[in-house]
Amino acid sequence: MESGKIHLMKFSRRWQLLSYAESVLYALGIAILIYFITKNVLFGLLAFVVSLSVLLVIKKPWKYNLNTTSAYVDAHIAEASFSSGLLLQPENSLSNLAKLQRFKISEVLSKTLSTLTPPNKIKQAFMVMLGLMAIGLAIQKSELLKDVEHVFNNPENEQAIQFTATDSVVNRRIIPIITKQEIKIIYPSYTRKGISNTNDPNIGAVVGARIQWILEFDNEVSSVQMEQMGKVITLQKRKNGYQLEQLLSESGFYNFKFKNEEGVEFTSDLFSMEAIPDNPPEIEILGLEQYTYFDFSDSKKIQLQSSITDDYGLNDAYIIATVSKGSGESVKFREEKLNFKESITKGQKVIKASKKLDLDALKMEVGDELYFYVEAFDEKKPKRNVARSETYFAVIKDTVTEEFGVEGTLGVDQMPDYFRSQRQLIIDTEKLIKDKPSITLKEFKSRSNELGFDQKALRLKYGQFMGDESEMEEAPSVIETDEVGEDHDHTEDQENILKEYSHDHDGDNEHNLVPAQEADEEEDPLHEYLHNHDDPEESTLFEETLKTKLRKALSIMWDAELHLRLYEPRKSLPFQYDALKLIQEIKNSARIYVHRIGFDPPPIKEENRLTGSIKDIDNYRKNETKELDRPYKAMEKVVSRLEQFIQQESDFTEQDKVVFTTAGSELAQLAIDNPGKHLQVLQGLKEIENNTGRIMGNYKFVQKGLLSALPKAAQIPGAQERYTDEINLLFLKQLEVYD
Amino acid sequence: MIDGYSFLQKELLIPMVLGGLVVLGCFVWKEWKTSKGNSKQFVLNTIVSFIAIFSIVITFLEPTKEVEINDRQALLLTEGYTENQKDSLINLNDGIKVLNYNPKKSIHKELDSLSNVIIIGDGLEPYNFHLFDSVPTTYLPNEQRKGITRLSFNEKLLLGNDLSISGSFLKPRKGSFLIVQDSRNNGLDSIQFNEETNIDFELNARPKVSGIYVYRLMVKDSVGGVLNTNPLPIVINKKEPLRVLILNEFPTFETKYLKNFLAEEGHEVIVRSQLTKGKFKFEYFNTLNVPVYQFTDAVLKNFDIVITDAETYLSFGKTMKAAFEESISENGLGLFIQPSDMLFNRRQSDSYFNFKRDAIKAQKLTAYFSDVEKYPFSFEEQLLVEPIALGGVTNMAGYKQHGKGKIATTTLLNSYEILLNGNNEIYSSIWTTILDKIAKKHNQVFEWETTTPLPKIDESFKFTVRSNIEVFNVLGENNIPVAIAQKPILPNQYSGTVYPKRKGWNELHIENDSTSKFSYYVFDDSDWSALNSVKSIDANKKRFSKGFQKNRTVIINRPISPILFYILFLLSIGWLWLTPKLTQE
């Protein structure tokens, strides 16, 4: 390449560089000015970058390429004679004359170009920069924009603790400023969260966390205190600051207070401290019915799968299984603690635990029942949180129950009849079917009808447990088919009639099962919330599952009775068996209640019994002082006091301070639950208390807030004062004469 | 002065006469000098100069003469008059004098020369009525103004009781609201007006705190713009705890819940229930252990209320009962008899009350839309038995005045069931009503009352104090003593008048007694304008109800024209000027 073109390129590069330098100088000037205004390097840097990029976009230094350079050279160097453009063109594309000129120009430019400086305003840029720096310095010296600096120097302005003097007269003096504000949240070790640092004085942490505040001031201060819900805690002095450590046990609000060298008191805004409770573990048992029934011949195994979760980590979890044996007064319980198949690792947040419960391994026999639930603990200290799952039941069915022997000497049959006679009915029905060929039709019908009546009586007796009223007896009328001959003809009709009264056992919805019932129940939206004694469905004699079972048994008995009344004992028999099965189950379930209402009567002193002596009986005395349940006493006082301030009848005195402080903690309790509504009022109350806001507007605002926060006044009786006039008394006495 | 004549410039009389005499002396001396022994001329000139000086003196003194007239009418314009009415009255009555009424300025002088006055507008302030005693006056009443024209509210109430405001609103704007607000404009109760007639309203609110407050009754339009607002000054006092003795033959649920209710509210409660013969169970709440066996006057004096079941009370012996009755009638003790069948079947002489069987076993409390159980009896009307309204029902409880005290009972059965049903508010309302009614009233030394419904600055505020104390001093603002007058027939009653100088709450109190204060609120002139105008119109109508009256005859001094004296002066002074010239010739 010829030297001419090289020079041209150099020139072009120089031009570009100068242009860049110009932009940088301008940008530097602006950046320094911004720095002086805001006293913040970050803002200075930001200003530099922004202004530089803006300037570059405006000046576009990259546009000074070879073409523009050659145009410039042509315009400014006469020797170039407008031919520098030739240097840019490929040599072989030129004519001879052009080649000659090109060579000549190349020679000329190598000499002259070094003397030519690209057009620039670098000096001007430098001057502007100096000027901006000077302005910046001047601003800094004069402290003209102190507030701006203040704002910009506190990017976390709302987080920094601001103080105001409690005596407004000295407000103009220097307020000691917090130079360092460190808030450490030391989580309890079990949470494995360690220590977290924050600048935000509004703290939210788990209960049991320790919170440490370290405050450093730029000036000498004394008696730095924290006010927290009526308590005043002094911060400890450290090397170059003040420190306080507190255990977070309940939510609340706090603020800081200190005195400067002159003894002027300063106070900060209110900040919240939220104690987030450590929730107990949550246990979910997957895919298991609350009641599981086994026949003796079944393989009696239950697959228990559970998922246990906790917010900070689990400590332990196991299954508590109780086996109940026997019935009536001889029932016995055996409790066992079973561990899950998986070992529980401490500190895990989610655990999937399973266990195969083998009823045989628990030495359970026919008729025995197993109640089990899962218990889980978390690692909370000092006391672990405990959670329990619902109780699940597993029963090995026992259809053959020993009958309670009633001795002739005992006058009272303690076992109620209606727990036994379904079996009797079955036996009688079977006997009737067996006897059918040997007896007359009339007798068959009569016996079948009698059995139907017994079945009805039994059903009604069970109905009592459901809370059914005796009116139920009238409800169904007996369907009578007098003539046998018509039986065949009416088969189809009968089927239709039967549909009305019977349940379709071949259908899907055998025994009129739950969904159908539920659909009915959903009709009344209030149903869930009512405690309606009129409705037999709502009787609370039995728990829910038991009740549905009994209801089911009753409807099956209804079918059994129907077929007996229709002289079809054979059809009735399956229903009777179903009913028997259900009744047995119900009977066994009822045993659970023994465990719940166990009561040990105190021993009776036989020698004192029935003597009627009250010699040793003394007067009974009980003294009790009930704390008057009026949690907002101080707030009430403050409201009436504020009214006096507003009416300008009185001024704030030292005695008021105590009441206002108490009212503050009362309101803080409300503010914890509803900070949006009461926090500002609380702040206003504090301002009145510490003399930063004793102005009419604030009085009115606080009173309004307190009035709306206070609950409705209760109606209570009380003594009143009344002036009694002698003349009135005379009048009353006179009246009595006529009575 | 000669009858019928006088001078307007009475104060100038003596200097003028003296001056006249001096000038006359000069004239006489001058005539003496110039007449030179011409005594005839001297006498004549002396008389003429006297006439000249006399007439000039008279001219300056402006003589008047009394005349009787009976046609001087005046139209007195009071607040709220209409221009139309004024113009038509001026048209009808020629030469009628128009006067503006300002209650703070006396119009006594103007009235003296008037033979007849017509008043239009809202009328005069009652304290100015006496000015019109001798003037025939006709009052043409204004129409009633729109706004609240009738108002009553309990300005003194106890914490826990409702503030109830009732009144009438004349022609409210359709869709506007009437709102009662507490001292800081929290709305408490409101109604919306749906028609533009005269509407009676009733608003209720239960204040939350005790103290002295200015509530507000505000009229807002349907979008919330304030149309009108008026202050409702109220004084809310706290109730003091009661001292209650409960006597039971056997423990009952009724007593158990009642005693818990009372004890939890901080009352001093002693419950004595019999366990067996001679053995009792004593329960003390918020008080000291002092067993109560005897019911002497000294023991009963410590209680405000005795609650006893009918079995206990009715089986007391004569002396015991007499002790109770004595305590009730002399000390004002309240006795509540818990009902049972025994009570209803007794004769009245035993049980104080007459009952009749009504076979109603449940009663709906109209105020709460809730049913309560009751005994199938109701109170029979008796002279001294007053019903106690429970939840809007008046035949379920009653009390009998017995001297200073009261004996009460109820037909309410198993009131604790109300509590168990979760209706705490109804339960506390029922028992608060009953117990408040019969509780012993602690003696109040001074009772204050005012007869000025809406006190205003610089207007008279009349009050009465009742007290059994014979010597005491009432102090007003800045501890300035206020004169009080004892009523001649009622020696316990005193009355006084003050002229408040300050808007807002003012206070009267008794010297050396900080507890007996009386706070009254001084209203702004613009407060309750409609109500004020109605009251004023009514009072004026009553006062000037006689219709058109015959004009009275008034005597006024009519000035005598000074021209005559002036001419006389000119003539005589002319003569005096002319005579020397004539005699020289």
CB-based contact B182 A707, cutoff 8 Å: yes
| Number of domains chain A is built from | 5
Model confidence at A597, pLDDT cuts 50, 70, 90, reads: very low
Residue A521 lies in a domain: no
- Do A442 and A582 share a domain, yes or no? yes
Residue A562 lies in a domain: yes
Q: Which pLDDT belongs to residue A144?
A: 59
Is the pLDDT confidence value at A127 over 80? yes
Counting residues of chain A whose pLDDT is more than 90, the rounded percentage is 0
CA distance B210 to chain A (A): 7
User: What part of A 616-655 touches B (C-beta under 8 Å)?
Assistant: 617-626, 628-629, 636, 639-640, 643-644, 646-647, 649
Domain boundary among A276, A304, A326: A276
Q: Which pLDDT belongs to residue B2?
A: 54
* Chain A residues within 8 A of B447 when measuring between CB atoms: 723
Alpha carbons B87 and B75: distance in angstroms, whole number: 11
- Name, in order, each residue with C-beta under 8 angstroms of B378's C-beta and a sequence gap of 6 or more: B355, B356, B358, B360, B395, B396, B411
- Average pLDDT in the B433-450 region? 90
Domain topology for B243-438: Rossmann fold (3.40.50)
E strand segments, A512-628: 620-624
Residue position matching structure tokens 């000119």: B570
CB-based contact A712 B208, cutoff 8 Å: yes
- Average pLDDT in the B381-386 region? 86
* Chain B residues within 8 A of A614 when measuring between CB atoms: 276-277, 279
Q: Which of B154, B158, B180, B183 to mutate to test the interface with A (most CBs of A within 10 A)?
A: B183
Q: Which pLDDT belongs to residue A508?
A: 42
- Name, in order, each residue with C-beta under 8 angstroms of A464's C-beta and a sequence gap of 6 or more: none
- Name, in order, each residue with C-beta under 8 angstroms of B555's C-beta and a sequence gap of 6 or more: B66, B67, B68, B69
A33 within 8 A of A130, measured Cβ to Cβ: no
- The residue with greater pLDDT, A94 or B398, is B398
B251 within 8 A of B208, measured Cβ to Cβ: no
* Chain A residues within 8 A of B443 when measuring between CB atoms: 721-724
CB-based contact A626 B286, cutoff 8 Å: yes
- Do A110 and A24 share a domain, yes or no? yes
CA distance B279 to chain A (A): 5
Is the pLDDT confidence value at A534 over 70? no
Q: What is the CATH number of domain B147-236?
A: 2.60.40.10
Residue A211 lies in a domain: yes
Alpha carbons B447 and B459: distance in angstroms, whole number: 23
* Chain B residues within 8 A of A646 when measuring between CB atoms: 183
Residue A409 lies in a domain: no
Closest Cα to residue A579, out of A426, A694, A693, A382? A426
- Average pLDDT in the A56-77 region? 81
CA distance A645 to chain B (A): 12
Nearest CA in chain B to A712: B208
- Name, in order, each residue with C-beta under 8 angstroms of A90's C-beta and a sequence gap of 6 or more: none
User: Which of the residue ranges A249-263, B76-90, B268-282, B447-461 would you say has the lowest mean pLDDT?
Assistant: A249-263
Model confidence at A63, pLDDT cuts 50, 70, 90, reads: confident
Q: How far apart, in Å, are the Cα atoms of B554 and each of A201, B115, B133?
A: 88, 6, 14
Q: Which pLDDT belongs to residue A421?
A: 67
CB-based contact A718 B184, cutoff 8 Å: no
Is the pLDDT confidence value at A44 over 90? no
A698 within 8 A of B415, measured Cβ to Cβ: no
CB-based contact B239 A717, cutoff 8 Å: yes
Residue A226 identity (one-letter amino acid): M
CA distance A596 to chain B (A): 25
For the beta carbon of residue A736, count every other beta carbon within 10 angstroms.
14
Is the pLDDT confidence value at B578 over 60? yes
Nearest CA in chain A to B278: A619
Q: Which pLDDT belongs to residue A169?
A: 56
Domain boundary among A578, A594, A610: A594
* Chain B residues within 8 A of A625 when measuring between CB atoms: 285-286
Counting residues of chain A whose pLDDT is more than 70, the rounded percentage is 78
Q: How far apart, in Å, are the Cα atoms of A158 and each of A41, A151, A199, B287?
A: 21, 11, 10, 53
User: What part of A 79-118 touches B (C-beta under 8 Å)?
Assistant: none
User: What part of A 225-264 touches B (C-beta under 8 Å)?
Assistant: none
Looking at residue A194, which CATH number applies to its domain? 2.60.40.10
- Do A377 and A454 share a domain, yes or no? no
- Do A576 and A659 share a domain, yes or no? no
User: CA A644 from chain center: how many Å?
Assistant: 43
Q: Which pLDDT belongs to residue A504?
A: 45
Q: Which of A628, A699, A723 to mutate to test the interface with B (most CBs of B within 10 A)?
A: A723
- Do A254 and A313 share a domain, yes or no? no
CB-based contact A718 B238, cutoff 8 Å: yes
CB-based contact B266 A713, cutoff 8 Å: no
Is the pLDDT confidence value at A196 over 90? no
- Do A246 and A309 share a domain, yes or no? no
Q: Where are the domains of chain B?
A: 5-67+559-584, 147-236, 243-438, 446-522
Task: Mention the CATH class of domain B446-522.
Answer: mainly beta
* Chain A residues within 8 A of B241 when measuring between CB atoms: 718-719
CB-based contact B186 A708, cutoff 8 Å: yes
Q: How far apart, in Å, are the Cα atoms of A605 and each of A197, A608, A610, B279?
A: 69, 6, 10, 22
Q: Which pLDDT belongs to residue A510?
A: 41
CB-based contact A713 B208, cutoff 8 Å: yes
Nearest CA in chain B to A730: B403
Closest Cα to residue A418, out of A454, A468, A472, A470? A454
- Average pLDDT in the A272-294 region? 84
Partner residue facing B159 (CB), from A713, A721, A735:
A713
CB-based contact A617 B186, cutoff 8 Å: no
For chain B, how long is the longest CA-to-CA vector?
A: 148
- Do A264 and A294 share a domain, yes or no? no
User: Taken in order A198, A204, A210, A215, is the CA torsion positive or negative?
Assistant: positive
Residue A623 lies in a domain: no
DSSP A236: E
A206 within 8 A of A188, measured Cβ to Cβ: yes
- Average pLDDT in the B101-106 region? 80
Partner residue facing A626 (CB), from B264, B384, B401:
B264
* Chain A residues within 8 A of B468 when measuring between CB atoms: 726
Model confidence at A135, pLDDT cuts 50, 70, 90, reads: confident
Alpha carbons A558 and B256: distance in angstroms, whole number: 48
- Average pLDDT in the B60-83 region? 83
Q: What is the DSSP string of B306-364?
A: EEEEHHHHHTS-HHHHHHHHHHHHHH--EEEEEP-HHHHTS-HHHHS--EEE----EEE
- Name, in order, each residue with C-beta under 8 angstroms of B535's C-beta and a sequence gap of 6 or more: B453
Q: How far apart, in Å, are the Cα atoms of B491 and each of A722, A725, B204, B485, B556?
A: 19, 11, 38, 10, 48
CB-based contact A621 B284, cutoff 8 Å: yes
CB-based contact A713 B209, cutoff 8 Å: yes
Residues paired with A623 in a beta bridge: B284
Is the pLDDT confidence value at B567 over 50? yes
* Chain A residues within 8 A of B491 when measuring between CB atoms: none
CB-based contact A624 B284, cutoff 8 Å: yes
- Please give, one letter per residue, the 3-state secondary structure of A135-198: HHHHHHHHCCCHHHHHHHHCCCCCCCCCEEECCHHHHHCCCCCEEEEEEEEECCHHHCCCEEEE
How confident is the model over B298-342, as pLDDT tens digits? 888 889 999 999 988 888 888 888 889 999 988 889 999 999 888
Angle at A394 between CA A390 and CA A399, to 5 degrees: 145
- Do A341 and A423 share a domain, yes or no? no
* Chain A residues within 8 A of B159 when measuring between CB atoms: 713
Q: Which of B208, B420, B513 to mutate to test the interface with A (most CBs of A within 10 A)?
A: B208
> Which domain, by its residues, includes A440?
417-481+500-512+532-594
* Chain A residues within 8 A of B283 when measuring between CB atoms: 621-624
Residue A339 lies in a domain: yes
Q: Which pLDDT belongs to residue A228?
A: 79
Inform me whether the C-beta atom of residue A712 falls under 8 Å from chain B C-beta atoms: yes
Domain boundary among A396, A427, A461: A396
**Kind plus residue range of the DSSP H or E element containing B259:** helix B253-264
The CB-based long-range contact list for A489-496 (8 Å cut-off, 24+ gap) reads A494/A566
Is the pLDDT confidence value at B64 over 80? yes
Model confidence at B21, pLDDT cuts 50, 70, 90, reads: very high
Ranked by mean pLDDT, the top range of A431-445, B24-38, B106-120 is A431-445
- Do A16 and A104 share a domain, yes or no? yes
Residue position matching structure tokens 């002027």: A264
Inform me whether the C-beta atom of residue A222 falls under 8 Å from chain B C-beta atoms: no
- Do A89 and A106 share a domain, yes or no? yes
CB-based contact A619 B443, cutoff 8 Å: no
CB-based contact A718 B279, cutoff 8 Å: no
- Average pLDDT in the A459-485 region? 54
- Average pLDDT in the B225-231 region? 89
Q: Which pLDDT belongs to residue A680?
A: 84
Partner residue facing B441 (CB), from A715, A717, A722:
A722
DSSP A115: G
CB-based contact B276 A735, cutoff 8 Å: no
- Do A357 and A388 share a domain, yes or no? yes
- Do A86 and A215 share a domain, yes or no? no
Is the pLDDT confidence value at A410 over 50? no
Residue A405 lies in a domain: no
Counting residues of chain B whose pLDDT is more than 90, the rounded percentage is 22
CA distance A659 to chain B (A): 15
- Please give, one letter per residue, the 3-state secondary structure of B421-436: CCCHHHHHHHHHHHHH
- The residue with greater pLDDT, B257 or A507, is B257
Nearest CA in chain B to A735: B384
Q: Which pLDDT belongs to residue B544?
A: 84
Q: Which pLDDT belongs to residue B430?
A: 92
- Average pLDDT in the A328-347 region? 78
Q: Which pLDDT belongs to residue A388?
A: 85
What value does the mean pLDDT of chain A take?
Answer: 76
Is the pLDDT confidence value at A32 over 60? yes
* Chain A residues within 8 A of B425 when measuring between CB atoms: 715
CB-based contact B238 A622, cutoff 8 Å: no
* Chain A residues within 8 A of B161 when measuring between CB atoms: 715
- Name, in order, each residue with C-beta under 8 angstroms of A456's C-beta and a sequence gap of 6 or more: A473, A561
Nearest CA in chain A to B503: A647
What value does the mean pLDDT of chain B take?
Answer: 87
Is the pLDDT confidence value at A604 over 90? no
Asked if the domains at B147-236 and B243-438 fall in one CATH topology, the answer is: no
- Average pLDDT in the B521-534 region? 89
CA distance A730 to chain B (A): 9
CB-based contact A707 B466, cutoff 8 Å: no
Residue A518 lies in a domain: no
